[in-house]
A and B are shown apart, each in its own frame.
Chain A
Amino acid sequence: GQSLEQPSEVTAVEGAIVQINCTYQTSGFYGLSWYQQHDGGAPTFLSYNALDGLEETGRFSSFLSRSDSYGYLLLQELQMKDSASYFCAVLNDYKLSFGAGTTVTVRA
C-alpha cells in the first residue's frame, strides 16, 4: 500500500508565503501531484513533479526529493481566493492516490 502525510491545517495572512509539506511511502512511484479543492467542489490539478527539483507555475511552486520521499507545495503572495484544501497525490502503478489534504485559510 501507500501512505501520504501532510498537515491538516495552515492559516496565513494575505501576501504571505505558505509551504505545505508532503511525505509519502509507496511502491512503484512515478511522481507527486498537487490538487486544489474549493468548498467540496471538484478537485483541480495544480502541478506534477516526476523528477527532483522545483517546478514553478505562477505564484505556486512544487518541489520533489525522490531520495527523501518528500515534496512540498509553495504558495506565494497569498490571496483570499487561495483559501481551499490542497492535496498531494502519488502516481504509482498507474493509480493516483491522495493524502488527507491541508486546509489553507487566508486571513485579511
Chain B
Amino acid sequence: IAGITQAPTSQILAAGRRMTLRCTQDMRHNAMYWYRQDLGLGLRLIHYSNTAGTTGKGEVPDGYSVSRANTDDFPLTLASAVPSQTSVYFCASSDGEGEAEAFFGQGTRLTVV
C-alpha cells in the first residue's frame, strides 16, 4: 500500500543521545515535512523540503536537522536530545508546490528522559 512509513513507532531516549527518525514515502511526492505535536499546541512545523536536495526551516527548527538526499527519504536527526523534545513526531508529504493535500505517517512517539 502506497504511503508514508515512519520508524521507529516509539522510542525512549536518554538525554544527550543522538537519534534519527526515519521517514520514507513511495508516492514520489516532491514536498516533505516534519511536525511535532504536543498537547494543546497542535502540529508545529520543524523542517520541510520542497524537492530533493533542498530543505527549509519551519517554526521550531532548533535542535533538529534534516536531509533530503533523494525523493523518497527525509530523516530527522536530534543531535543531542533534551527532555523538551519529548513529543509525537509526524512526517508528511505532498505532491508538490502549492499542493495542499498532505499525507501523514503514523507518527513516532519519542520520550527523552
Chain A residues engaging chain B, CB cutoff 8 angstroms: 1, 8, 30-31, 33, 35, 40-45, 48, 50, 87, 89, 91, 94-101
Contact = CB atoms under 8 A, between A and B. Distances in A.
A34 to B, nearest CB: 10
Describe A's contact surface by its main secondary structure: strand
A50 B106 CA distance: 27
B102 interface: yes
Chain B, interface residues (CB within 8 Å), range = 20 to 34
Contacts of B104: 42-44
B48 interface: yes
Contact of A97 (B40, B45, B107): B45
Interface of B: 31, 33, 35, 37, 40-45, 48, 50, 56, 58-59, 88, 90, 92, 94, 97-98, 100-107
Contacts of A8: 40
Describe B's contact surface by its main secondary structure: strand
A16 B31 CA distance: 37
A96 B97 contact: no
Given A31-B100, A42-B90, A45-B102, A95 B107 contact: no
Nearest to B37: A40
B62 to A, nearest CB: 15
User: Which 7 A-B residue pairs are closest in the complex by CB-CB distance?
Assistant: A100-B42, A98-B43, A48-B100, A42-B104, A33-B100, A45-B101, A101-B42
A95 B56 contact: yes
A91 B50 CA distance: 13
Contacts of A97: 45, 58-59
B58 A95 contact: yes
B90 A94 contact: no
26 contacts: A30-B100, A33-B100, A33-B102, A35-B102, A40-B88, A40-B107, A42-B106, A43-B90, A43-B92, A45-B102, A45-B103, A50-B100, A87-B42, A89-B43, A91-B100, A94-B31, A94-B98, A95-B48, A95-B56, A96-B48, A98-B43, A100-B40, A100-B41, A100-B42, A101-B42, A101-B43
